[in-house]
């Protein structure tokens, strides 16, 4: 073994030296790392891939392979390849909700020793927690995300602190008193429920992420808030088919006064609706009681290394490079993707791009993880299926249905 | 049947013929067994296990648990109901459209070539392309249908209108097949018979009901059976149009989602087996109910 | 028997109606593919300005080029094998009397009506272990689950129409069944075999479920799967122009086949069901 390694190292060294003279030889040493990640239109990912390839002095070349932008479809394509042992995947742009599933199935490699140290350095705690599963670290936090409350400062003096207040305010505003939220039957609805549940002090699973928790009082509070909102005049007529982007588009028309949504809306509003941009305010996600802040589910992507990768060592290095401070800054300023490195929230250029940086940092500090179970996909489907459409929620009845559906999902028996 | 007094030589020739026939069929039969019988048996086998590729190490025999959990799940019954509605409504409606279409094809002399070629096109076109065409046509921002009709309907965001678009796409795509089958049935009706009835003063409707329909009935029933089985496995259209949203999930979608999206092969295999059984039941009911001769005995 | 003018007008009108029914959705896709990117949402049936930008886009995308190659290769090979094997079986079914013939026909009819979703799970599991996942063979084999029964069925229907006296004459001359098959049947059956090949090719070309379940990369991904997975620039924006252009490109070969062989295709489609 040792001698083979020695010989191959020698070969690589000699080839690297030769590579300086001829371009053709260069291709033989360079390993191509395929980075599967959602299609990012601003070019932030492409820039990172190019920079890191150059920095590697041709030990590797990162090739971006775009996935659909919809996370459900990203996952669908990835898991099929991973389960089939596809060797062409090296680096995975892994949504925070996939960590447990990918790790449990043995599709990704754990981060250890030196690599782990580099991946940990300076990261915010919420994104860091999202790469942990069973006391191992499964990725490097790259970008994060959390919802804020966006509202019209020309219509409301002060941001409402609670959902009850907000719904009440919206109702008094009349026609323009719409609150944009995500009510389509998909991950966004699950995230909405989990955020409300966490705000009420509950959680879907117990602290060990194995058994169902779903304490009665907080769950009922979350469900009745959803029902109340969806049946009030504050809900958009199309709430049951609204996702993040529809909510943003509707808000940009100016007919709505509130919106809970991710930070990407900020740059979009400034581009698409310069008329209302000066009247946009932001605040923490609304709470359910005055004394406890609202908590929202954390989003974002981490970079993981595929277990079937032929160049795992290079892939680890490349992932660290892509997720480095320099490239997080590019992702933030160019693509509007919030960084996971704490120090960047004090960076002047970042604060220019994200004037709401402090509110976002506070939100992330209190953020909640969606259930870190390998069966998260099933659990999420169980939640969104049971609670869609929101206007038909009957808290007492649906509490039992929800418990039942989640239990089935956790025993891998649920048909979803 | 045994021929008692045949000569040994004749018998040998007969056995020789058997042997040759089996030899000729063997490659096709072997391939079919390998690629359908083996996988379906494997599916039946897997359906008794808890086998989830997300937990590759935990494969345990659980008997009928998968079936129980499917048959007590509202997801399955909703999908089953949807599939049933889609099958019955699209086959009924397309039968109603296909009859006039077949009659037109039968009677037309002038543009025979053009008409027949045109009707073949929807049938030959890729299903997902047909689905995309209709999806874009009904799209409120891209499509011409709202603009033409002056409606402001977001078709694929509501249950009833989603079903409408799915059924329409199915009908558009498969009516030509039905019409061609009916046409073939119509050509079986002897022309003289129609002429004679005409001479006896029967009007067009009477001729159709009394002569054409009864004679073409076997062909029609075969066509309907084929289409029902085909419609029951509907997947492509729904996948493109709604992906199962708005409560339009079909049994094939449930199977796909469980097998390929969730990678839950045990549970998904049980879904597959149930779909397979449903289709067997449909064909059995149909064949016994209408006493169709599938022509298996004919030579 | 003369037709009145009213009757003639009626038939012409109905012909126009039928053609419009068949052609409008396809014209719509063609016109979408020719619209400029900025005109895609103008809700007009016809493009205001003709542009080929979407065609340029899809052909500059290597993924689409390899998808076309995969589609052609996989569908052709599946059709070829099905027809080769189907020919032998259909000949035996039509010409020879043997025990098990009835069982075989029922079996073939059943497999033709088989729900593909019933076997994608096992196939996925077997393919990922044997390495057939995401390969040409990994799609050709499942395609034969429907192309082979169809081929046998259609060929059997065609073979019933062929004059057998010629073959008998050959047999009297001392030729064996196999010899008579090759010398007499093959030339007589060639047109039927060709039509059958075309039909099963179209079926394989149009498959979607196997293609999205058993492939994942340019290695074996066929056009329908590639189109469905075109990535848009934003989460809710389907790349409509590219989808339309790609749809037109894959529909052209099918349309040409239909235009040239419509009579034989209709014969092939219907004879199987009526006689079969």
Peptide bond into A389 cis (omega under 30): yes
Q: Rounded to an integer, what distance in angstroms lies between the CA atom of residue A87 and that of residue C133?
A: 12
Q: How many domains does chain B have?
A: 1
∠ at Cα C174 (C173, C177), nearest 5°?
115
Same domain, C129 and C260: yes
Same domain, C47 and C73: no
Q: Is C179 inside a domain boundary?
A: yes
- What does the pLDDT look like over B137-171, one tens digit per residue? 998 878 888 888 877 777 887 888 899 999 999 99
∠ at Cα B290 (B284, B296), nearest 5°?
65
Same domain, C260 and C136: yes
- Give the domains, in start order, of chain A with CATH numbers: 29-145+300-365 (3.40.190.10), 148-297+375-410 (3.40.190.10)
Interface check for B89 against chain A (CB to CB < 8 A): the answer is no
| The dihedral sign for the CA sequence A216, A221, A222, A226 | positive
Question: Do A416 and B258 count as a contact with CB atoms less than 8 A apart?
Answer: yes
Q: Rounded to an integer, what distance in angstroms lies between the CA atom of residue A284 and that of residue A295?
A: 8
Closest CA to B163 of B249, B256, B282, B253: B249
Q: How many domains does chain C have?
A: 2
Looking at residue C273, its pLDDT comes to 53
Q: What is the CA radius of gyration of chain A?
A: 23
Find the closest chain B residue to C213 by CA distance: B260
Interface check for C5 against chain B (CB to CB < 8 A): the answer is no
Confidence of residue B1 (pLDDT cuts 50, 70, 90): very low
Looking at residue C238, its pLDDT comes to 66
Per-block average pLDDT, block size 10, for chain A (416 residues)?
45 44 49 91 91 90 86 88 90 96 95 90 94 95 96 93 95 92 92 96 90 94 96 90 86 92 90 89 94 94 95 94 95 92 94 94 95 93 91 94 92 72
Beta strands in A68-162 (DSSP E): 91-95, 132-133, 136-137, 140-145, 148-152
Q: Is C56 inside a domain boundary?
A: no
Same domain, C30 and C73: no
Spell out which residues of chain A touch residue B56, defining contact as CB-CB under 8 Å. 105-106
Same domain, C163 and C199: yes
Looking at residue C234, its pLDDT comes to 52
Q: Is B228 inside a domain boundary?
A: yes
Interface check for A70 against chain B (CB to CB < 8 A): the answer is no
The Cα of C90 is separated from the nearest Cα of chain A by a number of Å equal to 37
Q: How far is CA B284 from the centre of its chain?
A: 15
| The dihedral sign for the CA sequence A385, A389, A390, A391 | negative
Looking at residue A92, its pLDDT comes to 96
Q: Rounded to an integer, what distance in angstroms lies between the CA atom of residue A58 and that of residue A27?
A: 9
- What does the pLDDT look like over C3-42, one tens digit per residue? 678 877 888 888 888 889 889 999 999 999 998 877 777 7
Q: Between A76, A104, A414, which is nearest B54 by CB? A: A104
Q: Rounded to an integer, what distance in angstroms lies between the CA atom of residue B44 and that of residue C117?
A: 13
Same domain, C234 and C265: yes
Q: Is B185 inside a domain boundary?
A: yes
The DSSP element (H or E) to which A100 belongs, if any, is: helix A99-104
Question: Do A374 and B262 count as a contact with CB atoms less than 8 A apart?
Answer: no
Same domain, C44 and C69: no
Spell out which residues of chain B touch residue C126, defining contact as CB-CB under 8 Å. 39, 42
Interface check for A104 against chain B (CB to CB < 8 A): the answer is yes
- What does the pLDDT look like over B11-26, one tens digit per residue? 887 888 888 888 888 9
Same domain, C169 and C37: no
Residues of chain C with pLDDT under 50: 1, 235-236, 274-276
The predicted model scores a pTM of: 0.86
Interface check for A215 against chain B (CB to CB < 8 A): the answer is no
| CATH assignment at residue C207 | 1.10.3720.10
DSSP letter for each residue of B174-238: HHHHHHHHHHHHHHTS-HHHHHHHHHTT--HHHHIIIIIHHHHHHHHHHHHHHHHHHHHT--HHH
Looking at residue A414, its pLDDT comes to 67
Query: Beta strands A148-152 and A91-95: pairing type?
Result: unpaired
Q: Rounded to an integer, what distance in angstroms lies between the CA atom of residue C201 and that of residue C180?
A: 28
Q: Is-contact C244 C227, C-beta < 8 A?
A: no
| CATH assignment at residue B93 | 1.10.3720.10
Q: Which domain holds residue B238?
A: 81-242
Same domain, C43 and C99: no
Same domain, C103 and C27: no
Same domain, C242 and C209: yes
Q: Is-contact C19 C234, C-beta < 8 A?
A: no
By three-state DSSP, how is residue A184 classified?
coil
- What does the pLDDT look like over B217-241, one tens digit per residue? 877 888 888 889 889 999 999 999 9
Same domain, C229 and C163: yes
Q: Is-contact B180 B218, C-beta < 8 A?
A: no
Q: Is C57 inside a domain boundary?
A: no
Q: Which domain holds residue C16?
A: 1-51
């Amino acid at each position: 073994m040792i001698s083979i390694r020695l010989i191959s190292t020698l070969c690589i060294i000699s080839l690297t030296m030769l590579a300086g003279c001829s371009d053709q030889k260069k291709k033989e040493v360079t390993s191509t790392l395929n980075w599967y990640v959602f299609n990012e239109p601003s070019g932030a990912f492409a820039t990172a891939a190019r920079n890191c390839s150059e920095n590697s002095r041709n030990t590797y070349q990162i090739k971006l392979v775009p996935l659909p932008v919809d996370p459900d479809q990203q996952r669908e394509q990835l898991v099929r390849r991973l389960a089939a042992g596809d060797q062409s995947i090296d680096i995975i742009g892994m949504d925070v909700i996939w960590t447990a599933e990918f790790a449990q199935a043995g599709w990704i490699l754990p981060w250890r020793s030196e690599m782990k140290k580099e991946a940990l350095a300076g990261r915010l705690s919420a994104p860091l927690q999202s790469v942990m599963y069973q006391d191992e670290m499964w990725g490097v936090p790259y970008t994060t995300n959390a919802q804020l409350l966006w509202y019209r400062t020309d219509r409301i003096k002060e941001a409402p602190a609670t959902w009850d207040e907000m719904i009440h305010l919206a109702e008094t505003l009349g026609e323009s008193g719409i609150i944009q939220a995500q009510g389509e039957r998909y991950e966004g609805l699950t995230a909405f429920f989990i955020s409300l549940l966490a705000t009420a002090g509950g959680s879907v699973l117990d602290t060990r992420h194995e058994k169902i928790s779903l304490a009665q009082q907080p769950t009922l509070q979350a469900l009745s808030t959803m029902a109340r909102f969806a049946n009030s005049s504050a809900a958009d007529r199309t709430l049951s088919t609204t996702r993040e982007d529809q909510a943003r588009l509707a808000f940009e028309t100016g007919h709505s006064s509130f919106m809970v949504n991710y930070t990407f809306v900020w740059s979009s509003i400034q581009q698409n609706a310069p008329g209302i941009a000066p009247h946009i305010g932001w605040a923490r996600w609304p709470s359910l009681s005055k004394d406890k802040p609202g908590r929202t589910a954390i989003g974002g992507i981490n970079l993981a290394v595929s277990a079937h990768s032929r160049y795992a060592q290079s892939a680890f290095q490349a992932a660290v490079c892509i997720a480095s401070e320099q490239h997080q800054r590019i992702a933030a300023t160019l693509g509007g993707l919030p960084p996971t490195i704490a120090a960047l929230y004090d960076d002047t250029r970042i604060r220019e791009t994200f004037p709401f940086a402090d509110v976002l940092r506070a939100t992330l500090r209190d953020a909640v993880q969606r259930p870190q179970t390998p069966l998260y996909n099933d659990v999420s489907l169980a939640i969104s299926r049971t609670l869609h459409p929101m206007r038909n929620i009957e808290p007492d009845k649906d509490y039992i249905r929800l418990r039942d559906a989640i239990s089935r999902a956790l025993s891998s028996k649920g048909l979803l | 049947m045994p021929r008692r007094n045949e000569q040994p030589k004749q018998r040998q020739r007969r056995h020789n013929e058997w042997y040759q026939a089996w030899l000729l069929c063997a490659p096709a039969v072997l391939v079919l067994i390998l690629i359908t019988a083996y996988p379906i048996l494997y599916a039946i086998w897997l359906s008794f296990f808890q086998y989830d590729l997300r937990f590759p190490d935990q494969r345990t025999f659980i008997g009928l648990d998968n079936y129980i959990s499917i048959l007590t799940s509202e997801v399955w019954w909703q999908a089953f109901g949807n599939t049933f509605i889609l099958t019955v409504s699209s086959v009924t409606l397309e039968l109603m459209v296909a009859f006039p279409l077949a009659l037109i094809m039968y009677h037309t002399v002038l543009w025979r070539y053009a008409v027949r070629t045109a009707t073949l096109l929807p049938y030959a076109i890729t299903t997902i392309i047909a689905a995309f065409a209709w999806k874009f046509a009904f799209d409120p921002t891209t499509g011409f249908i709202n603009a033409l009709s002056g409606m402001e309907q977001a078709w694929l965001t509501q249950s009833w209108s989603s079903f409408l678009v799915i059924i329409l796409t199915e009908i558009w795509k498969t009516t030509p097949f039905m019409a061609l089958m009916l046409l073939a049935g119509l050509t079986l009706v002897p022309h003289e018979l129609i002429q004679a009835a005409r001479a006896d003063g029967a009007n067009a409707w009477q001729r159709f009901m009394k002569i054409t329909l009864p004679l073409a009935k076997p062909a029609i029933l075969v066509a309907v059976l084929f289409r029902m089985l085909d419609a029951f496995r509907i997947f492509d259209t729904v996948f493109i149009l709604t992906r199962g949203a708005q409560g339009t999930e079909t049994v094939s979608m449930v199977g796909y989602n469980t097998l390929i999206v969730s990678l839950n092969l045990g549970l998904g295999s049980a879904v597959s087996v149930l779909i397979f059984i449903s289709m067997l039941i449909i064909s059995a009911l149909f064949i016994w109910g209408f006493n169709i001769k599938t022509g298996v005995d004919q030579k | 028997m003369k037709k009145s003018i009213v009757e003639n007008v009626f038939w012409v009108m109905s012909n126009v109606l039928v053609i419009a029914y068949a052609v409008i959705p396809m014209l719509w896709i063609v016109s979408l593919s020719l619209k400029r990117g900025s005109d895609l949402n103008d809700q007009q049936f016809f493009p205001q300005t003709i542009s080929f930008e979407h065609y340029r886009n899809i052909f500059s995308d290597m993924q689409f080029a390899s998808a076309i190659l995969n589609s052609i290769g996989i569908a052709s090979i599946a059709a070829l094998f099905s027809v080769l094997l189907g020919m032998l079986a259909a000949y035996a079914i039509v010409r020879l009397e043997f025990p098990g013939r009835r069982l075989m026909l029922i079996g073939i009819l059943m497999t033709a009506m088989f729900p593909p979703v019933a076997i994608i799970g096992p196939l996925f599991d077997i393919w990922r272990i044997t390495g057939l996942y995401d390969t040409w063979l990994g799609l050709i084999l499942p395609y034969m689950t429907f192309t082979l029964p169809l081929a046998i069925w259609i060929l059997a229907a065609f073979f019933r129409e062929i004059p057998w006296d010629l073959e008998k004459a050959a047999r009297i001359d001392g030729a064996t069944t196999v010899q008579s098959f090759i010398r007499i049947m093959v030339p007589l059956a060639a047109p039927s075999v060709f039509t059958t090949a075309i039909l099963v090719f179209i079926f394989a070309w149009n498959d979607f479920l196997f293609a999205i379940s058993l492939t994942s990369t340019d290695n074996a991904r066929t056009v329908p799967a590639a189109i469905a997975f075109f990535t848009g620039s934003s989460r809710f924006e389907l790349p409509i122009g590219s989808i339309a252009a790609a749809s037109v490109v894959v529909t052209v070969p099918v349309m040409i086949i239909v235009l040239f062989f419509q009579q034989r295709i209709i014969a092939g489609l219907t004879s199987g069901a009526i006689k079969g």
